[in-house]
Amino acid sequence: MRNNSSVTNFSYQIPVQIYFGRGYFQRLAEWVRGRRVLIITSAGFVERGLVDKLNAAAIWPVAVVSDISPNPTLSQMAAIYTRLDRSQFDVILAIGGGSVMDSAKVFSVDAPHFSLISQYILGEISHLHYTTTPLICVPTTAGTSSELTPWATIWDMDLKQKFSLHLPDLWPEACIYDPELTHSLPRQLTLQTGLDALSHCLESIWNIQANPISTAFAIQGAKLILATLPDLLSDLDNQQCRDQMMLATVYAGLAFSNTQTAVAHAISYYLTAKYGVAHGIACSFSLPHIAYVAQGISEPVDAALNEIFGQNPSEKIKAFFDTIGVSHLLWTYLPQDDFPELCRSVFQNNRIKNGIVPMDTLFEVLRTAC
């Protein structure tokens, strides 16, 4: 049945202080406010002199955790969590991409034992008694928007599954966006994180939790990404494009922080866990096909997609993917004989419940697309 366009009741929340500006990394001490700092980052940043740069910005961390791997698992997080001395620090500063910020969110939860957090994540207990350590996020990529959400992604590579720690107090205290930090991002990471942000925008539109505020941010973010990403990919040193992409990820975060993701992400996790497909590609190649199936189901969704793409959103998204050289065909990422297993994993994932599209139709479109 087609939804009408009348506005239904909704709420919208974003309890995160946002600071955006070139050179803001040098001003971090203003937001740390004399508290004792634990740094969560990746090894590469430490090797490239992060601690010296922090000292130059008048920050002397009490400890630095840098062994965060991409797509962190529960066991990796447990090992780090149990060696943290929580009496040493008052605030966590996460400097890195999505995996660093997701890990920092988990570490910000102060529970008696990590096993309780783990059981909560796995759904084995329904309540978790905890407090949180304040978290300041400094994203170094433009795309995941983890700094603007109250959940963290955790992986189980044996089960080929993705889990989420979602708590009402998991919002960071502040996000510091300094586009200069993204200048050295290589092309592939720029591409993947940019597509992740585009997916976050569109996923918050074709979403049962969408509201007029989230959709307005999503439209703005998606337009900015479509207008900027191709130019940036052909000129990685373009400062204006770097600024615009970082701003687009703020819009994306403001959109999907209140809706969560949906079908494209539900499809992605198996491809990432089993075949190592980068998240930004795994969660975006299906966008034109979802746009195709989503047409005509909901008036606000149609209106939002038309505002972004004009006529025929599905074909416009395909053309965009062709421009940036990314395949939108499922068989690029999945062997055909593994299709049933992909379908099974998608139906097991919670994010599918946020979607508005009939899954049987979508699977058929994905299977036969050429």
CB nearer to Zn ion: pick between 244 and 272: 272
> Shortest gap between Cβ of 260 and Zn ion (angstroms)?
10
- Residue 184 backbone phi and psi in degrees, to 5: -90, 5
CB nearer to Zn ion: pick between 196 and 302: 196
> Shortest gap between Cβ of 175 and Zn ion (angstroms)?
17
- Partner residues linked to 163 by β-bridges: 154
CB nearer to Zn ion: pick between 97 and 172: 97
> Shortest gap between Cβ of 252 and Zn ion (angstroms)?
9
CB nearer to Zn ion: pick between 191 and 283: 283
> Shortest gap between Cβ of 283 and Zn ion (angstroms)?
5
Question: By CB under 5 A, what part of segment 241-300 binds Zn ion?
Answer: 283
- Residue 333 backbone phi and psi in degrees, to 5: -115, -15
C-alpha 153, offset from chain centre: 9
Residue nearest to Zn ion (CB): 196
Out of 102, 147, 178, 196, which residue is the one contacting Zn ion (CB under 5 A)?
Answer: 196
CA distances from 37 to 55, 72, 77, 126 (A): 12, 22, 19, 31
CB nearer to Zn ion: pick between 282 and 342: 282
Alpha-helical regions (H) of the chain:
28-32, 43-47, 50-56, 74-83, 98-107, 114-121, 187-205, 212-234, 239-256, 263-275, 279-282, 287-294, 299-309, 313-324, 339-348, 359-368
Binding part of the chain for Zn ion, among 175-183, 195-203, 221-229, 313-321 by CB under 5 A, reads 195-203
> Shortest gap between Cβ of 261 and Zn ion (angstroms)?
6
CB nearer to Zn ion: pick between 283 and 290: 283
- CA pair distance 182, 237, nearest whole angstrom: 10
CB nearer to Zn ion: pick between 135 and 283: 283
> Shortest gap between Cβ of 221 and Zn ion (angstroms)?
13
- CA pair distance 103, 198, nearest whole angstrom: 23
178 lies in the site for Zn ion, by CB under 5 A? no
Angle between helix 212-234 and helix 239-256 axes, rounded to 10 deg: 150
CA distances from 302 to 56, 168, 271, 280 (A): 50, 31, 28, 24
Binding part of the chain for Zn ion, among 122-130, 148-156, 164-172, 194-202 by CB under 5 A, reads 194-202
Q: How many residues bind Zn ion (CB under 5 A)?
A: 2
**Percentages (nearest 5) of helix, strand, coil residues in the chain:** 55, 15, 35
CB nearer to Zn ion: pick between 66 and 328: 328
- CA pair distance 300, 344, nearest whole angstrom: 30
> Shortest gap between Cβ of 215 and Zn ion (angstroms)?
18
CB nearer to Zn ion: pick between 283 and 317: 283
Number of residues in the chain: 370
> Shortest gap between Cβ of 153 and Zn ion (angstroms)?
8
Of the candidates 301, 287, 290, the residue with the CA atom closest to the CA atom of residue 211: 301
Which of the 8 DSSP states describes residue 168? T
> Shortest gap between Cβ of 123 and Zn ion (angstroms)?
21
What are the residues binding Zn ion (CB under 5 A)? 196, 283
